A and B are shown apart, each in its own frame.
Chain A
C-alpha cells in the first residue's frame, strides 16, 4: 500500500477559485514530486523538491501554480486561479534520494474538477 498520503482525494472548484491539495511524503524521503495526470492518462511533470528547495519546475507551475514543502508540515500544491483545463488527477510522489536509480513512490492522487 502507498505510504504517500494525499488529501483530499477529490476536490471541486469553480473557475477562478483557488485549489489547494496536500501531500505527506513517505517518512524519510527528502525528494518530492508533483505530476498532473490528464483525462488521457498522460503524465506531466510539474515540480520537484529536495527537502524545502525547488529542484525543477515547468513554466506553468511558475505562473499559476505554487508549491512548497515546509519542514515538519505536509507539502502542498495550490492553483491560484483554477481553469477548466486544470481538471486532472494530481499525483504526489517521493523518493529517498535524487539519484536516477532510486524508486519513486506515488500517492493515490487528488482528483480536481473545475466546473
Chain B
C-alpha cells in the first residue's frame, strides 16, 4: 500500500550546519506530501506542502522539492538554528476521497550550540 519513509530516530546537529531530513514515498499515484513540525509541548504545525503552483515551497528557512523521479520530498535548511530543535514529520494524503493525513514515524532533530 501507499506509504512514506522518513529519516527515523534522532538527528543531532551543531548550530550553523545544514539540515537534511529524508522522506521518500511509495504510491500508485503521486500523493500530496507535507512536512509538519512539533516543538516540545506544542501542537504539530504545517511547515511545508508539496503543491505550490510550480514554486519551491519554503518556510522559516526550510525548503523541500518534490522529485517524482526518485519519489522523494526531502526537507532541507542551509543553516540549523537552536530553535529548529523539534520533531519533524513527513506526511501524505492519497488522492482518494475522505481526506486522511498519514504521518511518517518522525525525526527528532536536536540542534546544539
Contact = CB atoms under 8 A, between A and B. Distances in A.
Interface in B60-113: 87, 89, 93-95, 97-103, 105-106, 108
B18 interface: no
Contacts of B87: 41
A109 interface: yes
Interface size class of A (residues with CB under 8 A): 20 to 34
Interface of A: 2, 4, 31, 33, 35, 40-43, 45, 48, 55-56, 91, 93, 95, 97-109
A69 B103 CA distance: 23
Interface residues of B, number: 24
A98 B97 contact: yes
Interface of B: 32, 41-46, 49, 51, 87, 89, 93-95, 97-103, 105-106, 108
Contact of A98 (B45, B49, B98): B98
Contacts of A56: 98, 100
Contact of A106 (B44, B51, B95, B108): B44
A2 B43 contact: yes
Nearest to A109: B43
Given A31-B99, A48-B99, A98-B97, A42 B105 contact: yes
Select the residue from B32, B43, B46 with max chain A CB neighbours within 10 A. Answer: B43
A104 B43 contact: no
A48 to B, nearest CB: 6
